[in-house]
Amino acid sequence: MKDNFTTINEDYKYGFSNPEDYLYKAPAGLNEDVVRAISAMKHEPEWMLEFRLKSYKKFMEMPMPWWGNQEIINAIDFSKIHYFVKAKGGTTWDDVPTDIKDTFEKLGIPEAERKFLGGVTAQYESEVVYHSMKKEFADQGIVFLDMDSALKEYPELVKRYFGTVIPFTDNKFAALNSAVWSGGSFIYVPKGTRVDTPLQAYFRINAKNMGQFERTLIIADEASDVHYIEGCTAPSYSADSLHAAVVELVALDGAKIRYSTIQNWSNNVLNLVTKRAAAYRNAVVEWVDGNIGSKLTMKYPAVLLKGEGAHGEILTVAMAGNGQHQDSGAKVFHLASNTTSRIISKSISKGKGRASYRGWVKTIPGAENCVSDVRCDALMFGDESRSDTYPRMEIYEPSTKLTHEATVSRVQDDQLFYLMNRGLSETEASSLIVNGFLEPFTKELPMEYAVELNRLVALEMDGSIG
């Protein structure tokens, strides 16, 4: 049996980096001039500049969150971060510069696009460098653009929904994103339209001390249906990078949005993301959120159930290896009657890793007959690992039915015995058990992602028992 763990950084296949060759790289640090410069470079309308400046002011005023890993977040030096880095890009795959193209080839993006995606966006540093969508979807009126282009091409639509689900006053990192956001995806699915194959975005940080602040807004009009997938990677530098995205989903009456994330940042990225959805009458929002990489993740996908009959579902998985803290969870507010929600959270902590679940379910007075089910399971490997559960339940309505359950344990000896008895090695047996543990999550992913995730788990579990 191995003594040491295989950390994701040792075998992190996306840890390569390219030489830094940019059209523009803002100097490190944040001030009003940087905010104005970003807005000017993007030729934004006046309202957006005002929004950015207001947000910048709020960011400077707001305190750090009092929860989460205080040691890491209070050590962030905002003056050392580059808030905007513009890479060269292209409209067709051939136009994309070779080094960036190589990066995405290595990540398998074009291959995935050909095989099973309806559209793809690739963001390198602060802006989108490649974007495409299948013609049949474009013909149906589906809009899938990078956020910067959307602001130019659909200014009214963007203005109507931008910042409505997550106001810039929400938290310090949402304020920061609102001030310096760049890139991200914009999706609009017209009434009654169904997008059969998933749309994907891929986010890549390459530069050192880089801050990536993409902003994603998805609007699913009445009775429409869309599945969006995002993946994230970065090189393994010793200096930390900051990823503070804001993702807003709007599911109008009867619409369905599924948002899947496989976050596999390298171990030097602080992943502090605000994700929230508003679900109107009979709408369904599903967050499928996998956190494998990063040094610290603080991310709690939320659903505001605003219309009667709306349903929110959040599936989160976190794997915390040596030196990692996955502080993830879920938040559901039942703001209308007959709304339902389900939260399933699975976490694995190993070596010196720490996995925390932080959740919040709330029903307001008058929101009758709401049902919510929360389940958190944690597996632990190693004497120095740590697992925390911080759920919060606020019920202000007597007709609510809420159940919450959480368990923490290690892999049971009898399970290992059973499998090893039948000829599996300890690593194979533990991988199998972990894959079974994660099954509610992987079964919700497209096949290719599920296979990749299982492989990652096998890699992570190598030598973890003991």
Single out the residue of 5, 51, 124, 381 in contact with another protein (rule: CB under 8 A). Answer: 381
Map residues 18-57 to x or -, x wherever contact with another protein holds by CB under 8 A: ----------------------------------------
Q: Which is nearer to another protein, 224 or 347 (CB)?
A: 347
Write down the least CB distance from residue 62 to another protein, Å: 14
Determine if 395 is a binding residue for another protein (CB under 8 A). Answer: yes
Q: How far is the CB of 96 from another protein (least distance, A)?
A: 46
Is the CB of 224 or the CB of 389 nearer to another protein? 389
* Residue 119 near residue 109, CB atoms below 8 Å: no
Closest CA to 275 of 298, 301, 245, 249: 301
Residue 400 interacts with another protein (CB under 8 A)?
A: yes
Shortest Cβ 406–another protein spacing (Å): 5
382 interacts with another protein by CB under 8 A: yes
Q: Is 4 in the site for another protein (CB under 8 A)?
A: no
Long-range CB contacts for residues 12-17, cutoff 8 Å, separation at least 24: 12/236, 12/266, 12/267, 12/293, 14/106, 14/107, 14/233, 14/234, 14/235, 14/264, 14/266, 15/235, 15/236, 15/266, 16/103, 16/106, 16/235, 17/206, 17/235, 17/237
Is there binding between residue 414 and another protein (CB under 8 A)?
no
CA distance 275 to 216: 9
267, 341, 385, 454: residue in contact with another protein (rule CB under 8 A): 385
Q: How far apart are CA 246 and CA 83, in angstroms?
A: 15
Instruction: Evaluate whether 283 touches 31 at the Cβ level (below 8 Å).
Output: no
Neighbouring-strand partners of residue 273: 299
For the chain, give the number of residues. 466
Interface residue with another protein, options 92, 383, 414, 443 (CB under 8 A): 383
Q: How many angstroms separate the Cα of 199 from the Cα of each of 257, 336, 443?
A: 11, 30, 18
Q: Which stretch binds another protein (CB under 8 A): 117-125, 130-138, 257-265, 408-416?
A: 408-416
Per CB under 8 A, 1 contacts another protein? no
Closest to 450 in 3D by CA, of 352, 348, 317:
317
Choose, by CB under 8 A, the member of 100, 122, 380, 445 that binds another protein: 380
Residue 66 within binding range of another protein, rule CB under 8 A: yes
Residue ranges that bind another protein, judged by CB under 8 A: 66-67, 365-366, 378, 380-410
